[in-house]
Every structure is written in C-alpha cells, then in structure tokens.
Amino acid sequence: MSQQSGIGQDQWKTRLGFMLAAMGSAVGLGNIWRFPYVAGESGGATFLLVYLAFVFLIGVPLLLTEFSIGKAGKMDAVGSFKKLAPNTKWHLTGIMGVIGGILILSFYSVVAGWSIFYLYQYVTGAFWTEPDGGFGAAFDAWITNPLAPLFWQALFLIVTMVIVMRGIGSGIERANNILMPGLAILMIFMAGYGMTLDGAGEGLAFLFTPDWSKLADPNVYLMALGQAFFSLSIGICGMLTYSSYLKEKDKLPAATVGVGLMDTLFAVIAGVMVFTAVFSFGVEPTSGPPLVFIILPSIFESMPAGGLIGVVFFVLLVMAALSSALSLLELPVAYIHRTLGLTRKAATAIAGSIIFVFGIAASLGFGIWSHIQVNGNNILDMMDNLTANIILPLGGLLMAFFVGWYLTRDKAIQFSEIESPLLQNIWLIIIRFVAPVVLLIIMVTSLLGI
C-alpha cells in the first residue's frame, strides 16, 4: 500500500501490469463484437480509415489527458477532479463517467452472458451442427427468453466481481496478465486461419479498399468517433481510475501510445478474422449486432473442425469481455469505496448489484420488454448509443477542456509527462483546439440529425 495514493488504494505491481490492464480495458467486445458490425454497416474500409484518423488524432491524445488526471489526482473518477479542482463543478465529469461505466457494463454484461452461453453450447457440441430452424432462429429464441440469459449474465458479473474484490495487484493485474497474452494468441490464430479460407481476399478488400464516396456521409464520422471512444474506453474515467493506481516512476506517454496501438491492432485483427469468414461464405457484412452470434456460427458449421473453431472464438470473446468489464466495474467500485467508506468487497457487491438491475432491463428489451423502443432502438441499443455517442465524447470533451484550459499550461504538461517540447505543443494544440472542435461538430451534427 502506498500513502501517495488516496484512501489507501493499492497499486499496480509493474508498469507492464498497468499496460496490460489498460489494454485489457480497451480490447473488448468493442473490438470483436462491435467493430466488425459497425464497420460493416458504415462502409467497411472507409469507416476504418476515418476510425484510424480519430484514434490517433484525437483518441490517443485524449487517452493521455485522461491518464494524466488520474495519475495526478491519485483518486477515483470523482475524487481526482475534486482534488485537482477543489470547490468547482468539474467533479461532475467524474460522476457522469461513473454513470456511463454502470450503463455500459449493464448492456455489456448481457452480450458477455450470451457469449458464455454460446461457449457452453460449443463445448457441449450442441452448436457443432445447425440447430432446428437455423442459427438465426436459435439466437432469436435465446435472446427473447426472459430468464436463461439473465443466469449467464449474472455468472459473468459474478466472475468479474470476484476478481475486482481481490483488488488491483492481486485481482485485476493478475487476471489481465493471463487474459491478454492468451487473447492475443487466440486472435492471431483465428485471423491467420481466416486468411487461409477461399474468398478471404474479398473480405480483406472490404476492410482495406475505401469507397471515397462514403466520406460524404456524416453518419460515418459519428459512428467512427463513437467506436474510437468506446474501443479506447475514453471519456468514462475508467482509464483515469486505472492510472490513479500507478507508481510515480511509471511514465504515461509510452504506455498511452502502446495501448492505442494494441487496441487498433486488435480491432483490425478482429476485422480480418470476421470479414474473411463472412466473405468466404458469401454472407452480407452488414447484418448488425447479431453478426457474431448468427453469421459466424453458420460459417463455423460449414468449416472443417468448425466446432473447435467455435470454441476458440467464444473463449476469446469471453476473455476480451472480461478484461474490459474489470475496468468498467472498478470505476464505480473505487468511487463507492471512497465516498461510502465501505470495504472493497462491499463496494463491489453494491456496484455489481446496481449493474445487474440495469442489465436485466437491457436483457428483457429483447423479449418481454421489446415494445419499449425509441426510433427503432431497443433498451440495449439505447444504452449503447447514449454512452458511445453522447456520454463518452462529452466526457472526453470535458476532460480536454479541463486539462487544456482549466489547468495552467505548465501543470498540464507536467501531468502529461511528455518530455519533447515539440510533442508537448502538438498534444496541447490537439486537446485545446482540434479535439474540442471535432467533437463539438460531430456531436451537434448528430443531435440535430443533420
């Protein structure tokens, strides 16, 4: 335990441990479940291009901004703002982050629960052959079932809670030390396998040959921005919370770039893995959220040893979901732990229960509450859109203003730990001008429905 960190928080044992945990937070369902279908719906390679531009132009500098606040504040999302800006309203950014984290994990755990159930179906061999009525009907029957998905969702949340209860070094860090290398090996294997399929070239073309006319579609920008924020876990203060557990000597800039690069690499590898399979079996890449639950199982079924491939795929999906869920849960846990003065275990039990209650709504939104819709979006879609397209970019914008404008230039640079004067200036220009302007334009455009 270090006295430098607030409320006797424990710390990452090593810088690598922090990096793996932050990568674990970034790489998740966002890369494997969300990225391929959002890219498929929003223009494939054109989307990828805009996405990459956002990740490196805005995402990575904002990630460093978020890390800087946490490392300097050394407390949870709300406490860090209070410490760095006492008697101001800046801590509301942290509160919004805590709410955002709770909302994301609520729907995230639904999809993670489906993933564990699918894994179970592959392990028992039930999905090695097509179920009666096909994989589409099986998926529909599954998600509309009111009770069974809740069981798997609860199981996922319990595993996440047990790890978080054990703390930073012995819980979250240790779990990510196993999850992340395992995930990397499985994903590289799957993408490599995808490339050997006949017709894989078409999938690669879809992902890597841009259609320039799509650049005129404003929706592509909103979706790419939302995806960049979601994927890098920026704007909800989960990364801020993680960086508050860093030791003073562990520097931020290299870790930030490492996380950005790895997350992007994982998204591209997931894209290769999914689209090579999708195109080699002649199915539509634009089938939306069910892509990995309907299309991929049908493809696995017609592959040699497809059942085993299914096992590997769903193992990796569950691992990715778990490593991200740890950061989403740690965010409210750290806050509740400090403000209510509870033990970590009690704080985790409270946060996990709140999340499960919201999660029930997201799950039932596919079945008995499917009549609750806004603009054709069910409860899960609403939570997803509200967080990815509004709360995350708004959180990012507020953090950019906080570090770029509220803090003095010297403080901002000191907290960022960037050493090169050139990079310091570039980073400041981005967080002061470029990121706010781009974020505002995209958010206003989307709110006005232009």
Q: How far is the CB of 268 from ligand VAL (least distance, A)?
A: 14
Return the residue nearest ligand VAL (CB atom): 30
Task: Find the part of the chain contacting ligand VAL (CB under 6 A) among 214-222, 230-238, 340-348, 364-372.
Answer: 230-238
The residue count for binding ligand VAL (CB under 6 A) is: 13
Identify which of residues 135 and 266 has a Cβ nearer to ligand VAL in the complex: 266
- Closer CB to ligand VAL, 324 or 416, in the complex: 324
Interface pick for ligand VAL out of 316, 328, 336, 438 (rule CB under 6 A): 328
Which window, 27-35, 48-56, 171-179, 278-286, contacts ligand VAL (CB under 6 A)?
Answer: 27-35
Q: Least distance to ligand VAL from the beta carbon of 309, Å?
A: 22
Residues 76-115 that bind ligand VAL (CB under 6 A): 104
Burial of 8 (0-12, 13-18, 19+ CB in 10 A): exposed
Interface with ligand VAL (CB under 6 A), residue from 109, 176, 233, 348? 233
* Selected binder of ligand VAL within 46, 68, 231, 389 (CB under 6 A): 231
Contact window for ligand VAL (CB under 6 A) among 11-19, 163-171, 226-234, 371-379: 226-234
Tell me: does residue 220 bind ligand VAL (CB under 6 A). Answer: no
Query: What's the closest the beta carbon of residue 241 comes to ligand VAL, in angstroms?
Result: 12
Nearer to ligand VAL, 73 or 235 (CB): 235
Interface residue with ligand VAL, options 25, 109, 348, 446 (CB under 6 A):
25
Instruction: Choose which of 54, 67, 135, 230 interacts with ligand VAL (CB under 6 A).
Output: 230
Secondary structure of 114-163 in the HEC alphabet? HHHHHHHHHHHCCCCCCCCCHHHHHHHHHHHCCCHHHHHHHHHHHHHHHH
Positions touching ligand VAL (CB under 6 A) are 25-26, 28-31, 104, 230-231, 233, 324, 327-328
